[in-house]
């Protein structure tokens, strides 16, 4: 009886009304996931800078817009700030020999104070669409979705082109096999610096878009961002491999990373619609990521299990004995 009353209390219209907002936010975080994909998959670099550079992008965008600068110039400066943040992490790692995770944490901690200074020592700053001509806003959801799609398509096209160039291929080679890349004459330190800078520039761009969409920037707006970015990457890869299989190419992976961000936020929307405690969202996020992380492993394990190998060998022995009997 309780279960029937629970499902009867759910309003499908409420979920439908919230869906455009989930898609719009998913697109913005999907763009952020493109930056995470560069370091996580292409460079094989566990970069935790993104939690700070995401907030940096939002802070720079909001403060420059408030001070009278064009919104596009503000967004460009946000990207440059993100590039510098990634460059800082890269220098800590390549020039000072600090491990990747610690280098990212150090930059992230430093960015907290830097972001506070950017926002005039305030934890958050408002940015109203009534006062400023913004690119994207939660008040215009259809327009926000279109803008998010355009940004995603342009970024995917640019990244696909860039990583097909000699320098982009060198970055990918550095992530795949640093020792072999170095033996081939590639400056792997430089490639890491470029990759980290590019990644955090995209992350900061996403932060600038989210600050406009939300109407404010907050010093903590990037907290947990790396988890959402990884969730989008993993969800996108699992779904892409399931749908396209062997036909999954590089541009397909980039596309599915953005789709992973959308799916992640739709799932979060479903969780909230089911009236789960909002305080437990981080728990649900961890569970979702763990499930999608486990899928490829379990799938691969099932294909190469000893049980199946035993069955195949038994079948081959039976067929051999049958031939001998004939």
Domain that residue 88 falls in = 12-299
pLDDT of res. 272: 81
Q: Is residue 325 one of the residues assigned to a domain?
A: no
Query: Distance between CA atoms of 170 and 184, rounded to whole angstroms?
Result: 10
Per the structure, the count of domains in the chain is 1
State how far the Cα of 274 lies from the Cα of 284, in Å rounded to an integer.
Answer: 12
Tens digit of pLDDT for each residue in 139-154? 899 999 999 999 999 9
Statement: residue 50 has pLDDT above 90: yes
In a domain, 4, yes or no: no
Q: Which helix (H) or strand (E) holds 198?
A: helix 188-214
Does residue 317 lie within any of the structural domains? no
Q: How many CA atoms lie within 13 A of 80 on its CB side?
A: 8
Give dist(CA 198, CA 170) in Å, integer: 14
Query: Predicted confidence band at 180 (pLDDT cuts at 50, 70, 90)?
Result: very high
Average pLDDT score over residue span 22-27: 94
Does residue 36 lie within any of the structural domains? Answer: yes
User: Residue 304 falls within a domain, yes or no?
Assistant: no
How far apart (Å, rounded) are the C-alpha atoms in residues 111 and 49?
A: 9
| Mean pLDDT for the stretch of residues 196-208 | 96
Under 8 Å CB-to-CB from 226, ≥6 apart: which residues?
A: 36, 47, 48, 50, 51
Q: Report if residue 128 sits inside a domain.
A: yes
Query: Is the pLDDT score of 69 beyond 90?
Result: yes
pLDDT over 60 (residue 310):
no
Per-residue burial over 110-133, b if 16 or more Cβ lie within 10 Å, else e, is bbbebbeebbeeeeebebeeeebe
- For the chain, the residue count is 326
Give the model confidence (pLDDT) of 119-130 as tens digits: 998 889 999 888
3-state secondary structure of 217: strand
216 φ, ψ (degrees, to nearest 5): -165, 160
Q: What's the whole-number mean pLDDT along residues 284-294?
A: 78
Give dist(CA 165, CA 305) in Å, integer.
40
- Output the 3-class SS for 261-318: HHHHHHHHHHHHHCCCCHHHHHHHHHHHHHHHHHHHHHHHHHHCCHHHHHHHHHHHHH
Q: Is 68 within a domain?
A: yes
Residues 276, 280, 286, CA angle at the centre, nearest 5°? 115
Q: Is there a domain that residue 54 lies in?
A: yes
The dihedral over CA atoms of 114, 120, 122, 128, expressed in degrees to the nearest 10, equals -110
Q: Provide the 8-state DSSP code for 138.
A: T
Q: How confident is the model at residue 322 (pLDDT cuts 50, 70, 90)?
A: low
Q: What is the reported pTM?
A: 0.88
Residues 6+ apart with CB under 8 A from 244: 252
Q: Any idea what the CATH number is for the domain that residue 262 is in?
A: 1.10.3470
């Amino acid at each position: 009886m309780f279960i029937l009353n629970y499902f009867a209390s759910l309003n499908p219209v409420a979920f439908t009304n919230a869906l455009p907002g989930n898609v719009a936010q998913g697109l913005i975080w999907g763009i952020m996931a493109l930056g995470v994909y560069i370091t996580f998959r292409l460079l094989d670099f566990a970069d935790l800078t993104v939690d700070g550079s995401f907030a940096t992008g939002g802070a720079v965008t909001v403060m420059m817009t408030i001070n009278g600068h064009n919104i596009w110039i503000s967004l460009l400066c946000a990207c440059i700030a993100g590039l510098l943040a990634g460059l800082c992490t890269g220098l800590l790692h390549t020039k000072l020999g600090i491990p990747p995770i610690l280098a990212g944490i150090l930059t992230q901690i430093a960015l907290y104070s830097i972001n506070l200074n950017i926002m005039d020592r305030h934890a958050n700053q408002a940015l109203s669409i009534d006062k400023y001509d913004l690119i994207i806003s939660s008040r215009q959801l259809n327009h926000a979705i279109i803008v998010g799609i355009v940004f995603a398509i342009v970024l995917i096209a640019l990244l696909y082109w860039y990583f097909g160039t000699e320098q982009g291929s060198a970055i990918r080679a550095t992530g795949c096999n640093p020792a072999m890349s170095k033996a081939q004459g590639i400056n792997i330190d430089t490639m890491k610096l470029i990759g980290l800078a590019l990644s955090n520039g995209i992350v900061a761009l996403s932060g600038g878009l989210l600050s406009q969409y939300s109407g404010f920037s907050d010093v903590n707006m990037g907290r947990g961002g790396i988890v959402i970015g990884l969730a989008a990457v993993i969800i996108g890869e699992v779904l892409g491999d399931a749908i396209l299989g062997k036909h999954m190419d590089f541009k397909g992976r980039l596309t599915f990373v953005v789709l992973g961000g959308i799916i992640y936020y739709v799932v979060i929307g479903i969780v909230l619609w089911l009236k789960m405690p909002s305080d437990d969202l981080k728990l649900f996020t961890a569970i979702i990521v763990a499930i999608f992380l486990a899928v490829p492993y379990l799938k691969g394990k099932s294909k190469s299990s000893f049980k199946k190998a035993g069955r195949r060998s038994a079948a081959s022995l039976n067929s051999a004995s049958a031939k001998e009997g004939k």
